[in-house]
């Protein structure tokens, strides 16, 4: 497989989309039972498994409220082309078809600032976009970027989160 560098910018509210997938392949770490149940829960709601990163150590979903809680082995940062997304160690949200609402634990970088991602919506129509609700705007990303759980770089300075 060739390694290709795309320099194209994925801009906010842009309509020019890449038609070619840059989806990352799963890496070598073993897929835990927790990760499997997380990916099952996402898929049964029409959501791509790449919305949650690698490294899931526990996952629960309340059958009546569809509220899920995922725990990662470490808080981490993943890159989707030109967009950077941070995952806290603990991530929760409410699943419905094509959507995660009341999300917490995920933030996205926009103009060098971090914004909490409040919800995620997936458009499975021909546009095949993923919308990250960052409060003021929706960030749009191609669905193809979420085909696989992204590699996620653990935060380098855990001492920053001391209380």
Q: Which residues are near ligand NAG by CB under 6 A?
A: 62, 64-65, 88, 104-107, 116, 161
Residue closer to ligand NAG, measured from CB, 17 or 37: 37
Minimum gap (Å) between residue 6 Cβ and ligand NAG: 28
Residue closer to ligand NAG, measured from CB, 59 or 144: 59
Minimum gap (Å) between residue 106 Cβ and ligand NAG: 6
Residue closer to ligand NAG, measured from CB, 68 or 146: 68
- DSSP result, the chain: -----------TT------S--PPPP-SS---HHHHHHHHHHHHTT--GGGS-S-EEEEEE-TTT-EEEEEESS-EEEEETTEEEEEEEEEEEEEETTEEEEEEEEEEEETTEEEE--EEEEE-STT-EEEEE-SSSEEEEEGGGGSSPPP-EEPS-GGGG--
Minimum gap (Å) between residue 2 Cβ and ligand NAG: 36
């Amino acid at each position: 497989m060739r390694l290709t560098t795309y320099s194209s910018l994925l801009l906010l509210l842009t309509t020019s989309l890449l038609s070619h997938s840059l989806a990352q392949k799963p890496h070598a770490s073993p897929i835990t039972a927790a990760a499997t149940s997380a990916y099952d829960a996402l898929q049964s709601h029409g959501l791509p498994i790449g919305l949650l990163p690698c490294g899931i150590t526990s996952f629960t979903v309340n059958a009546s409220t569809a509220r899920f809680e995922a725990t990662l082995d470490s808080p981490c940062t993943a890159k989707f082309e030109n967009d950077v997304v941070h995952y806290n160690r603990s991530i929760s949200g409410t699943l419905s078809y094509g959507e995660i609402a009341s999300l917490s634990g995920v933030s996205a970088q926009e103009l060098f600032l971090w914004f909490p991602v409040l919800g995620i919506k997936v458009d499975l129509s021909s546009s095949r976009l993923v919308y990250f609700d960052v409060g003021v705007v929706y960030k749009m990303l191609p669905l193809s970027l979420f085909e696989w759980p992204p590699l996620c770089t653990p935060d380098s300075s855990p001492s920053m989160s001391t209380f």
